[in-house]
Structures are given as structure tokens and as C-alpha cells.
Structure 1
């Protein structure tokens, strides 16, 4: 059995929620390994919609679900999201949900700082979700973060908070803001500790024990590889690593445990927030993709920018994440278009290139080079076999495979779990 890592191969919003839910039926353990509650997943099961941000999708299936050390955890959001799912009938207990004891926490001061920076009149706007993710990761790297395990040691918590505030209050003084008292942060944490501490565990040990026992482990990525802090469209990226390699570092399970990397790939391209987008369409087609694809953020409500499929970007993320095969989603959004374009290369300052440059300036200057394919009039929605797909739709899928250098392992034809064409079962690869 191959343990599977699911990653987004674009800028996120590729439809990972459905695919992870579909795969979780075959998995024994589902793991979140990076990010925070800034990336939403929507699951639709028997007509019921479940919206998740921080909690692993496996909970809805009743599978052992793990939040790894690579995730930054907002304890108050954790409690609120857990209550919302419980109200929908989802059973959540320490027997089915574990959180790494060394996971860093998101505090109110992180959320406030995130918003202040985005609202600043000067400097670069990244387009964050204002949920404190970036500042929390900064404190982790700066070795001053409050971690979940710290809540279990109330007698030593105050000195850790004071150390954290030495940095944050200096920032606040520089911005002309009121300083924060250590007591207020202490109360913020101790008021919630009893609700989150029962879920704490040594996640690295839990996962290794499960691996040795032959359990099938599914690593659930959030966001997309193009938002990776190293390999994405920097600086318009998130604050964590979103490529497949983070599954090992962000969970404590060694990289040799990973057997298959599934890249979730939308049949066109979308992006939320600021940053370069070579194939963006600010025209009738772009609006058509947005409306038919219902391109609005699950948790943020932000409209997504839309454009044609960019094979240059996906081909690059296939390499940086070691993607074995892709799950192609939202093919049905292209139904009815007379022509469909695919970006096969870029023009940069008069020269043709086949990669996304690392330079912010060059990323803004690249122009897409398109190939045009014939569209199809019949619907692909709800198809459960290749035979049910229009011939031109199959041609489009095969062309994408050729361009990106990775085969289609799954093809999703609607938000419903059953509307999936399975080519390769990643757990059996």
C-alpha cells in the first residue's frame, strides 16, 4: 500500500476537498501538514455540504485525523469549527482527532498584525486572509512561538508570553499602537486550554506506529504549490511550504513513507489575492468561468481571478512536488465553449521560455503563448467513465497530460463524490 500526499498543483482552490474526501474512504489516517485555517475545503456528501478550514477532511468520514506540527493552530477557531461540525452530526473526540503537541499557536496579536500590514498605505500588498498565519510562522522561525504543549505547563507559560511580547510590543511601539499586556494573552490561552489539550499527542509517534501497522496514510495538502514560500510566485505566496516534501517535515513521518503524490489540478486556472497571473482573463470568458465554476473562496468569500489552463505552471509544480499523477477537476466548467485555449509557453522580453521565472519583475512581464483547441457542446458533468465524455473533452485531457508530463489518475466531473472516473488508485500504485 502506498501512502499518498495530496497537493494543489496551481494556486489552490483546485477541488482538493472532494478528492481528499473520496480518498479518505480508502485511507485509515488523514493528516494536515501545513498552513492554518486560511485554506478552505468543501465536502459535499449525500447533498450535505461540510466546510472545513483547519480540521482534516477525514473527520467527516470518521477516520483518524491528525493536525501535524507544520500547521499553525488558532485554538479559538479550532473550538468554533469543531462545534460547527458537531452540530452537523460529525463525531469529534480525541480517539479520532490528534493535534501535534509541538504545533505553534495563532494568537489574537497575530491576527491584528496581519490586518494592520494589509491595510498599510505603503509597502507590498500580498493579499493575505488576515487570519494571522504569516505572523504566527514568523514567530515560529524566530523561536518565540507559543506552542500547544506550552498550554499544559501553566507555571512556565507567562515567561514565554513575556518573551514573545518583547518582540511584538517593540513592533507595536514602532507602529504607534498600544502595547499588549502579558496577562491578556495569558487569559486568552488559559481560557481555551481545557478544550484543546485533550486532543494533544506526539503525532510523529502516532504516525510511525500506524505506518508500521500497515495503515494507509493520506496527507492532505492545503492551498497550492504555486503559493509555496520557496517555489511559488514569491513574495505573493503563503508563509509555509505547500509542496509535497512538506508532508514529511510537517508531520514528523520520514520521507521514505511517502509512496504517491497526487496533484489536484483544475481544468482551467484560478487565483485569489494579489500576484502575477499570466493567463488571467478579464473578459466575457473569464466571467463565464467565474460564474459557472462558482469561483468564490470557501472561507473568505473572496472572488477568484480566472483564466485558461497554464501548462507551464503545472509542469513546473509536477517537478517541484514530484507529482506522480493528477486529479483533474472542474472539466464540466468548460462545457459549451466553442474554443478552449491552453498556455504552452511564455514570452519574456522577446524570448520564448518554458518555465516561471523566480524574479518578481519577470513574473509580471511574462506573456502567455496559447494553443487553441476545439471545444465541445455535450456535457461532461456527472460522467463516471471515459465513454461518457465527449471526444473533444477526452482530447483536451490527453493534451494536458502530454504538456505537463504527468498522467490523469482521477477525473472529477462534479462536486459529488461518486462523480469520479478512477484511472489509478493512488493507494494501490
Structure 2
């Protein structure tokens, strides 16, 4: 019983969605919940060559057939919500939106696109920031006002707390700790706090129900837009091309019309990592994109098969933080993941068949 939370470490894009999906599956979750932000994050996973993504829903439902909840701390874009519900064949009985969620409108999105400050920080122009500001000014429409959302409306805090008494639930954070409006490098931040306490509050879960807080941390951290990456050296574009580790953002560069390239650090800043642990109360770490740190580990699915280089990194992270590295992501495919306790369930043929219906 209780709740586990998956949080983004540093500046986002760590593969939280994959970690969240596996955590929900591993714990036989009764429900997965979003508790902050809006439709700005992109959580996804690869099945063969197909990338399945969500912006509004938590991705934790993808392996575990459980209830899906959007808490009152999350702004909802009705258009994106309806698209994802239809895309993944989800019914109102399974998906619940809290009636107090602020609504993202087309006007909110247009306002963000006109704001030069939003472009500088690498905004996705989802309209979330403007929607949240309108909610604070008491001028935002709410979910209860939207006709298309009526079949999905419910008391999400009540649902989450009841399920947490019966079994395990999972909460899915958004973006990264140092993009937090409270704890990031202003103005290069998102519109809300994205640390674990705010995710809990945004779902409306009793904080005493929390069991594990897992922070997802890239072996080679990345960042969109402007802002510091800590006391570390960054790769040049030429170096990333040579190593084959370029990551393209979902954000389009307005000057070139092409997808932006994420900035990438050559190592983890351990001072910042410890601050992440402190701010989130994290007791577990998931290391992601290990195949970029050491190509020899690509596709590994057993802890004993991790390479010496990756094991040394795990030891360094654990000694620096005094927190266990419990999961390691080793490749692009969602099955490229290992658990220190070797407790990940097998993906059955039935699950794979269901996943392929989404392709």
C-alpha cells in the first residue's frame, strides 16, 4: 500500500515516462496520477521503431492496466486530452480528471508564442504557464466548465487516497527539478514547482502515504534553452556527432525550422545531484541513457551484465549521495532496463500485442 513517485532530476528529458511505466508495472499499481504542470512535458517510450508519447496523461498506464488520474494541480488542454484518450482507447471509467483543473485554451498558447522570454528558455508553447497565471488571477476556465470533459470529471484526491489504502499507486512528475519555478535558475524555469512535495499536493494525496521517491537522472545530463548546467563541461555539437549522442528536442528552432539540439554535459554535477536528493526527499535513483555513457552496455537487461564503466558510475553516484541506484536504463527500447533487485516482471505476449495496437 502507499505511493511511489517518479521525479525528473536536473533539467528534464531523462526518460521519466519509461521509469514510471515500469514502476507501475513492477508494483502492480492500482492507479497512476499526474499532479503538476500541464500538457508541456513529453513522456514516451519506443516499441520497435515507433515512439509512443503522451503530453497530458501520465505514461504509467502503458504497461499496467490501471486507473489514470489527473490531479487538480495539473492544467488540462481538452484537445490534447481527447486525442490521447482516443489514441489509447481509454474509457471515462478508467480516466479521471479532477473538476478543479485549470484549462489551457488556444488563446493561452497564442499568448506564449508571442512572448520572447518563452522562446529564450526553450518553451514548448503548450499554454500551461499562461493558464496557470490565469488560474492565479481567477480568470481561467476550469475543467468543470468544459462540456467535453464532463464524462471524466471526478474527485481525484479522494480516488488517489482511497486507492493508496488498498494497494500501490504511482505519481508521475514532470520536467526536471532545476526547472522548478521555486528551485531553478530564474527566469530559465517552468511555471510551477515540479519537486515531489508539489506533485503530492497537486494530486491531493496525503503525504504520509508516500513510500519511495525515485529521481531519474541522465548519465550525461541535458538541457533545453538557456541556463547553467552546473560546474561541468559541455559537449560541442561536433563531439556529440562524433560519438553519436546527439539528442533532438521536440522544440522547433524558429530560425532554422529544424528540431533544436539539446545541450549535453560531459558528467554529472554531484553538488546539484545532492541538492535534488534533498529537495525531493529521494530514496532511490534511476540512471538513464546509460548507453550514451558507455555504448557497450546498450540493450543489457540483467544487472550482472552491466559493464565495468557503468558499475563504476553507479558506485560513484551512490557514494556521493548515499542513495541507492535501483534502476538503470540501457537503451532506446522500453525493455532495455535493469533492476538492482531483478524484480521487473516479464512483458507477456498479451501485453506486447496490446502495445502494438497503439502503433
TM-score strictly above 0.5: yes
1:267 to 2:222 alignment: no
Alpha-carbon distance, 1:52 to partner: 0.8
1:128 to 2:128 alignment: no
Within a 5 Å distance, the mapping from 1:374-393 to structure 2 comes to 379-393=296-310
Q: Structure 1 residues 282, 47: CA separation in 2 closer, same or farther (over 3 Å shift)?
A: closer
Alpha-carbon distance, 1:2 to partner: 4.2
Within a 5 Å distance, the mapping from 1:63-142 to structure 2 comes to 63-83=66-86, 85=87, 90-118=88-116, 125-142=120-137
Partner of 1:221: 173
Which residue, out of 240, 250, 259, partners 2:202? 250
Distance in 2 of aligned mates of 1:30 and 1:288: 39
Contact 2:122 2:251 in 1 (8 A): no
Partner of 2:256: none
Partner of 2:55: 53
Contact 1:409 1:425 in 2 (8 A): no
Partner of 1:332: 291
Partner of 1:172: none
Gaps of 5+ in 2: 253-258, 345-359
Partner of 2:271: 312
Which residue, out of 324, 338, 355, partners 1:407? 324
Alpha-carbon distance, 1:393 to partner: 2.4
> What is the TM-score when the length of structure 1 is the normalising length?
0.72
Partner of 2:159: 206
Alpha-carbon distance, 1:63 to partner: 1.7
Partner of 1:352: none
Contact 2:2 2:164 in 1 (8 A): no
Larger Rg: 1
Distance in 2 of aligned mates of 1:15 and 1:119: 26
1:285 to 2:239 alignment: yes
Alpha-carbon distance, 1:311 to partner: 1.8
Three-state SS of the structure 2 residue aligned to 1:273 is coil
Distance in 2 of aligned mates of 1:288 and 1:405: 34
Three-state SS of the structure 1 residue aligned to 2:193 is coil
1:148 to 2:143 alignment: yes
Q: Structure 1 residues 49, 125: CA separation in 2 closer, same or farther (over 3 Å shift)?
A: closer
Q: Structure 1 residues 115, 298: CA separation in 2 closer, same or farther (over 3 Å shift)?
A: closer
Q: Structure 1 residues 201, 426: CA separation in 2 closer, same or farther (over 3 Å shift)?
A: farther
CA RMSD after TM alignment: 2.3
> What is the TM-score when the length of structure 2 is the normalising length?
0.86
Partner of 2:315: 398
Distance in 2 of aligned mates of 1:101 and 1:425: 40
Contact 1:59 1:97 in 2 (8 A): no
Contact 1:4 1:217 in 2 (8 A): yes
Distance in 2 of aligned mates of 1:299 and 1:101: 30
Alpha-carbon distance, 1:138 to partner: 0.8
Distance in 2 of aligned mates of 1:219 and 1:119: 30
Q: Structure 1 residues 316, 426: CA separation in 2 closer, same or farther (over 3 Å shift)?
A: farther
Distance in 2 of aligned mates of 1:284 and 1:402: 33
Contact 2:112 2:130 in 1 (8 A): yes
Alpha-carbon distance, 1:234 to partner: 1.7
Alpha-carbon distance, 1:287 to partner: 4.0
Contact 2:36 2:174 in 1 (8 A): yes
Gaps of 5+ in 1: 152-192, 337-378
Three-state SS of the structure 2 residue aligned to 1:302 is strand
Distance in 2 of aligned mates of 1:5 and 1:230: 19
